A and B are shown apart, each in its own frame.
Chain A
Amino acid sequence: MSNLLDIRDLKLAFKGLSGLSEVLHGIDLSIAAGERVALVGESGSGKSVTARIILGLLQETPNARVSGEVEFDGRDITAMRPRDRARLRGTEMSMIFQDPTSSLNPTFTIACQFAEVMRRRDPRMKQAECDARATEMLTEVSIPDPERVLNAYPFQLSGGMNQRVMIAMALVNNPKLLLADEPGTALDVSVQAQTLRLMHDLVEMHHTAVLFISHNLGVVREFADRVYVIYRGRIVEEGPTDAIFHAPGHAYTRALMDAVPRITGAGLPEVPEVSDDFLAPMVRHDGGAA
């Protein structure tokens, strides 16, 4: 039992007016402690719902049917009581979102929101202690004047600044797992590149495992050790980042790669129509998951 997160045969269906519609068709995914894993796919492929299941949020949605095992740090999340799952969020696992400015609360200062996060782990923490720890974290994400930022409201800060605040907040309780859903997609490319580098260094330093959810192959290549490609609720390929990018084995992965325009300018790619090959069995590369 060496993996931090082990997902086995995860299925998800939503109950609608026309019966059950299956969204995930049995996913296997694992993350070792301190590992950076990417989950890549198009919109509607099931990336974000997977993250919501790991967080234990979808299990509480009345019309969602979840089956399969999600083992986090030796405990089965799907079998837990909702209260115990809630206790994990923000302490053992945390999440950062696509648009930092809209995921921070505009009516509270950054200091206030930091304290709220830290008191999830230790409710008796004094405001002064929280502020000191927050200042430390903000310095770690290269924010030059942490005092000013702590007293600011999110809308007074730039998008890139808010993104750093989010990263700092997500890591303040030293979680074992960080879920990052398209971080920085809403930001300019140069800011995005900076935040990714920063996040990369920080998780390495804190030995935090990351599940990085993205549709951007370039970003994934730069950030992840290992990649899962998801298509319509099925994992179609898995392997170390190098192997996936140098020798993509699945028809869908190849189509995705071909469709990305290159800065070397080979012209616009010929895009294959959606074919049955996309539903071919999963391709696993050596050196992947245990």
Chain B
Amino acid sequence: MTLLSVSDLSKTFQTASGPVHAVRDVSFAVDRGECLAVVGESGSGKTTLANMILGILRPSAGTIAFDGAALPARRGPIQRRAIQFVQQNPLSSLNPKRSIGASIRLGLDTYGIGARAARWARVEDTLEEVGLPREMRRRSPAALSGGQRQRVGIARALACEPELVVLDEPTSALDVLVQARVLRLLNDLRARKNLTYVFITHDLAVVRNVADRVAVFRSGELVEIGDTPKIFSAPEHPYTRSLIGAVPVVDDAELQLRNRLAEGT
């Protein structure tokens, strides 16, 4: 069952030095419950793509269909609620003057989710779901650690009861131990709530372990897309091979895989 389908999507920015094609003729589909990783280096168009899926940017050409219907240029509240966003840097994405609870509640008020009187309880339930104590709703973002803030970012998205969550480098600002816990949380939540993820990252080792499929972008173009195990064992595009070949690895099995891929080029 396809949830999100992107066809012939392009975005061109007009700059002083001529047009820049940030995304060019990109087509792919994401099934309900699936996690699609979007990988690529800086300038590959990952973030522009995310912004178009979220409705923050209007595509120059092409269409984005959600749950069988094409999304209009100006989206209504139902459509906006269904697609939520988790940002890379939770410190800069949470309003420092608002309490954690107020930030999470904002989505509930905007979209009219649940009875007004029950919303604070709902906020606390969501905090609990992401592994934070209920009392945390009164705290301010500055008082939290990086891992806690990222959990709040996830809670903020979840509170809106989305179907699709776009995650932009959700763990790259975190320490390894914290990163591993947040990745686990994201995996559990997806299974429990049948969520669909578009997971944007440049960290291929993370991708290997969380994504069902991988889409590789280079300068705005989709160069390869396929099932995760296949992309990592037998990548077809030379660019994919070179990306995997550049990952710093920790154990010998990984080193062998990397060397084997390098010989294939």
Name A's B-contacting residues (CB within 8 A): 42-43, 159, 188-193, 215-219, 221-222, 245, 255-257, 259-269, 271
Contacts and interface: CB of A to CB of B under 8 A. Distances in A.
A256 B257 contact: no
B181 interface: yes
Interface residues of B, number: 36
A189 B44 CA distance: 13
B176 A260 contact: yes
Given A215-B176, A257-B250, A264-B257, A190 B206 contact: no
Contacts of A262: 205, 208-209, 249-251, 253-254
A232 to B, nearest CB: 12
B41 A265 contact: no
Interface of B: 41-42, 146, 175-177, 179-181, 183-184, 187, 202-206, 208-210, 228-229, 232, 242-244, 246-251, 253-254, 257-258
Contact of A268 (B146, B175, B209): B209
Contact of A193 (B176, B228, B232, B248): B248
Contacts of B208: 261-265
Nearest to A186: B42
Contacts, number: 104
B171 to A, nearest CB: 10
Contact of B177 (A159, A245, A259, A261): A259
B176 A217 contact: yes
A263 B228 contact: no
25 contacts: A42-B177, A188-B42, A191-B41, A193-B246, A215-B175, A216-B248, A217-B250, A218-B247, A219-B248, A245-B250, A255-B177, A256-B176, A256-B177, A257-B251, A259-B176, A261-B208, A262-B249, A262-B251, A263-B232, A263-B247, A264-B232, A264-B251, A264-B257, A265-B208, A271-B184
A242 to B, nearest CB: 11
Nearest to B239: A190
A218 B250 contact: yes
B184 A268 contact: yes
Contacts of A263: 204-205, 208, 232, 244, 247, 249, 254, 257-258
Nearest to B256: A264
Contacts of A265: 208-209, 228-229, 232
A262 B254 CA distance: 7
Nearest to A41: B175
A256 B205 CA distance: 15
Nearest to B178: A42
Contacts of A219: 248
B246 A192 contact: yes
9 A-B pairs closest in CB distance: A218-B248, A188-B41, A42-B175, A259-B180, A190-B246, A193-B246, A261-B205, A265-B208, A259-B176
Contacts of B42: 159, 188
B253 A221 contact: no
